[in-house]
Amino acid sequence: MPPIHAKLMFERNEYIMINDVIVVGGGPSGLMAAITAAEQGANVALIEKGNKLGTKLAISGGGRCNVTNRLSKEEIIKHIPGNGKFLYSAFSVFDNYDIINFFENMGVALKEEDHGRMFPASDSAQSVVQTLVNRLKELNVNIMLNTPVKAVHYDQDYHTVLIDENEYVKAKSLIIAVGGMSVPHTGSTGDGYAWAKKAGHTITELYPTEVALTSNETFIKEKTLQGLSLRDISLSVLNKHKKAIITHRMDMVFTHFGISGPAVLRCSQFVVKKLLKGYKAVTMSLDLLPDKNIDEVEATIKNLVNDYPQRSIKNALKGIIPERLFLFLLQKNNLDESMKCGNVSNEHIRELVKDIKQFTFTVNGSLSIEKAFVTGGGVSTNEIIPNTMESKLTERLFFCGEIIDVHGYTGGYNITSALITGHTAGLNASYYKY
Could you give the domains of the chain? 7-206+377-432 (3.50.50.60), 212-366 (no CATH)
> Which one has a higher pLDDT value, 3 or 407?
407
For the segment 67-71, the average pLDDT, to the nearest whole number, is 93
Triad 403, 175, 49: Cα angle to 5°? 75
- Split at pLDDT 50, 70, 90, the class of 15 is low
Residue 6 has pLDDT above 80, yes or no: no
| pLDDT tens-digit readout, 126-168 | 999 999 999 999 999 999 999 999 999 999 999 999 998 788 8
Residue 9 has pLDDT above 60, yes or no: no
Q: Find the radius of gyration of the CA atoms of the chain.
A: 26
14-24 vs 7-11, strand pairing mode: antiparallel
> Which one has a higher pLDDT value, 3 or 203?
203
Residue 2 has pLDDT above 60, yes or no: no
Q: What percent of the chain has pLDDT over 70?
A: 96
Distance CA 354, CA 377 (A): 37
Instruction: Write the single-letter amino acid at 213.
Output: L
pLDDT score of 5: 47
Sheet holding 244-254, edge to edge: 359-363, 282-287, 229-238, 244-254, 258-260, 213-214, 365-366
**pLDDT averaged over every residue in the chain:** 92
| pLDDT tens-digit readout, 113-135 | 988 899 999 999 999 999 999 99
pLDDT score of 17: 74
| Distant-in-sequence, close-in-space partners of 395: CB < 8 Å, separation ≥ 6 | none
pLDDT score of 434: 54
H-only helix segments in 259-379:
262-276, 294-307, 313-316, 323-332, 346-358
3-class secondary structure, 75: helix
- Split at pLDDT 50, 70, 90, the class of 8 is low
For the segment 378-389, the average pLDDT, to the nearest whole number, is 98
Q: What percent of the chain has pLDDT over 90?
A: 83
pLDDT score of 59: 86
Instruction: Write the single-letter amino acid at 297.
Output: V
